[in-house]
Amino acid sequence: MNFDKIFIRSLKEHEDLLAIVREKLSLDINRASEWIAQAFSKSKKLMIIGNGGSASDAQHIAAEFTGRFLGDRIPLPAISLTTDTSALTAIANDFGYEHVFSRQIAAIGNPNDVLMAISTSGKSKSVINAINTANMMGIKSIGLSGNDGGFMKDICQLNIIVESRNTARIQEMHILIGHILCEYIDYLYTEVNG
């Protein structure tokens, strides 16, 4: 296979999946943005988790909220639970990797906070345990997943499922969805607080 075939195929897959996101997920993305904005307005926080590429997405989205996205606004309380290497390695060593997020949520989470859990498969044990912990604590859970939603679709209070088995394409849609959330919440905060 040559470069041109890979290039054209990748763009076509992206465009096809983008159409599915547009047709099927706008209401869920809007609802997620409202949950997050409501939490921020009540001095609650957004916690974001994921493994691998999804960990990078979690960090990226959290930074957009605490820093800025398109325009200047107050910093918003979002935290990626994928960044504290001491906590991650201590919890993984002492309790097992499947508890790296749930222990952090149990330590810093509060009722009416929001958890955004990102997993392309929807099956990661560390993510599933975190969602279960959040649900028990009265924390709203939003799942960004792929494929058929995996185990996450049964336990998240709100599911945004990118219907694809291609990890790269799912991740592209996840970061796009994250940016849409950031832009809409920026708009809300500029309207309400600016």
Q: What is the pLDDT of residue 133?
A: 98
Predicted model pTM: 0.95
The answer to whether the CB of 92 falls within 8 A of the CB of 100 is yes
pLDDT tens digits for range 55-78: 999 999 999 999 989 888 899 999
| pLDDT tens digits for range 140-158 | 999 999 999 999 999 999 9
State how far the Cα of 192 lies from the Cα of 41, in Å rounded to an integer. Answer: 10
Q: Residue 193: its pLDDT value, please?
A: 53
Q: Which CATH superfamily is domain 3-193 in?
A: Glucose-6-phosphate isomerase like protein; domain 1 (3.40.50.10490)
Q: How many CA atoms lie within 13 A of 64 on its CB side?
A: 22
Report the pLDDT value the prediction gives residue 1, as an integer from 0 to 100. 79
Q: Is the pLDDT of residue 194 over 70?
A: no
In this predicted structure, the answer to whether residue 191 has a pLDDT above a threshold of 70 is: no
Domain layout of the chain by residue ranges: 3-193
